[in-house]
Amino acid sequence: MINPVYSASPDRYENGMKYRRSGKSGIMLPEISLGLWQNFGDTAPLARSREMLLHAFDNGICHFDLANNYGPSYGSAEATFGQVMQKDLAPYRDELFISTKAGYDMWPGPYGNLGSRKYLFSSLDQSLKRMKCNYVDVFYSHRFDPDTPLEETMQALVDIVRSGKALYAGISNYPHEAAATAYRYLADHDVPCLLHQVKYSMFHRNPETEGILQQAKEAGSGLIAFSPLAQGLLTDRYLNGIPQDSRAARDFSLKKDSITDEMLDKIRALNDIAAQRGQTLAQMALAWDLKDDLVTSVIVGASSVRQLDDNLKAIRNTEFSAEELELINKITETR
C-alpha cells in the first residue's frame, strides 16, 4: 500500500511537551526524545517505525537519537530514518534535532571502531547517506577510547563541526576524567560540548555517584539520559512473565536471567509507588530522571505507539516528595 502524504499535526507544540535548555547552549530539547537503537532496524516493520516516528513528531518530540550501528542490522536504523526523512519529514528538517554517533563496532578492520579521526569522519559520511541528511545536529564520540589520544578524537569533532556536517559536538559514556578533558578541549576550540549522553535510571545511578551529572552542569554541557526505563525493566512489561515479543525474550542486551524474583519484587514495589502517584511505572521512571535540572532530556526506546503515548504522559508530573524519593532509594539501593 502506498503511504498517504504526511502532514504534521498543527498542534505538535501544544500537546503538552516541555522543552529544556541544553547546558549553556542556544538549544532547547524536548524533555522526551526518541531513540532508534533496537526497534527501527530492518527486522522491524517499516510501517510501524514510520508510525512511531511521525507520532513522536506530532507530539512535540523533535529530537531523534541514532548511531551508526543501530538496527539490527548495523546501519539499518539510520536507513529506516532516511526513508521516513525522505518521504515524510524532509519539509520539517529545520524543526528536527537529529543525532548520530560513532565509537562502537561498525565495519571490519582497524578503522571501523573506537575513536580515531579516520573512523569518525568516514562513519559520519556513511551515516549522512543512510539518513538522507546533509548534516546532523549533534555528532557524538560514542565512547571514550583509551588507546587513541583524546585530543585526536576531540579535534575530529571540532573539525566535523567546522565542516558543517554537524552543528554541535557531543560525548557519550565518558568517564569523569576523560569527560573533564573533553569539555576543556572542546571549549578551548570554540566548539563547546552540547551534550553528554549517559545511562541513567532509578536502577542505574552511576552518573550520580560518579559526579557525572554535576560535572556536566558545571561544564555548561547538557546531559541526556539513555535507557531511562532500564530497557523495559522499569515498566509493567515483565510483571506477568516475559512476553514473546519483548526485548528480554531476545536475550541480547537485556538478559532473561536479569529478571529474577528479587528484581520482580523491586519492580512491584516501585509499581505500587507509581500507582499512588497516579502514574504507570514507565511514567514514574521517566519523571524520576527529569525531577531536577541536571537532566536535559530522556531518550526513550519504544516498540509501539501505545508505549510512546504512555511515556509522553510522564511529563505531566515530575515532582517527587522527599518521602517518595527516600522510598525509591530504599527499594533500588541494592542493585
Ligand X SMILES: NC(=O)c1ccc[n+]([C@@H]2O[C@H](COP(=O)([O-])OP(=O)(O)OC[C@H]3O[C@@H](n4cnc5c(N)ncnc54)[C@H](OP(=O)(O)O)[C@@H]3O)[C@@H](O)[C@H]2O)c1
Closest C-alpha to 190, from 176, 169, 174:
169
> Nearest approach, Cβ of 65 to ligand X (angstroms)?
4
Long-range contacts of 303-309 (CB under 8 A, 24+ apart): 303/39, 303/245, 303/247, 304/48, 304/52, 305/51, 305/52, 305/55, 307/235, 307/282, 308/34, 308/52, 308/55, 308/56, 308/59, 309/55
Closest C-alpha to 66, from 37, 39, 41, 90:
37
By CB under 6 A, is residue 38 in contact with ligand X?
Answer: yes
By CB under 6 A, is residue 115 in contact with ligand X?
Answer: no
By CB under 6 A, is residue 227 in contact with ligand X?
Answer: yes
Q: If binding means CB under 6 A, how many residues of this protein chain bind ligand X?
A: 30
By CB under 6 A, is residue 39 in contact with ligand X?
Answer: yes
> Nearest approach, Cβ of 10 to ligand X (angstroms)?
26
By CB under 6 A, is residue 172 in contact with ligand X?
Answer: yes
Cα separation, 50 vs 53, in Å, equals 5
| Contact in structure between 31 and 290 (CB atoms under 8 Å) | yes
By CB under 6 A, is residue 301 in contact with ligand X?
Answer: yes
Helix or strand or coil: residue 83? helix
Angle value at C-alpha 38, between 32 and 40, nearest 5 degrees: 85
By CB under 6 A, is residue 35 in contact with ligand X?
Answer: yes
Query: Which of these ranges, 30-38, 55-63, 130-138, 288-296, lies near ligand X under the rule CB under 6 A?
Result: 30-38
49 cis-preceded (ω within 30 degrees of 0):
no
Cα separation, 304 vs 50, in Å, equals 11
By CB under 6 A, is residue 303 in contact with ligand X?
Answer: yes
State the cell numbers at 261. 524474583
Query: Which of these ranges, 35-43, 85-93, 149-157, 204-212, lies near ligand X under the rule CB under 6 A?
Result: 35-43
127 or 246, CB closer to ligand X? Answer: 246
Query: Which of these ranges, 4-12, 157-165, 180-188, 224-232, lies near ligand X under the rule CB under 6 A?
Result: 224-232
The residues in 250-289 that bind ligand X, with binding defined as CB under 6 A, are 282
By CB under 6 A, is residue 310 in contact with ligand X?
Answer: yes
By CB under 6 A, is residue 170 in contact with ligand X?
Answer: no
Q: Which residues bind ligand X (CB under 6 A)?
A: 35-39, 65, 142, 172-173, 197, 226-232, 235, 237, 246-247, 282, 299-303, 307, 310-311
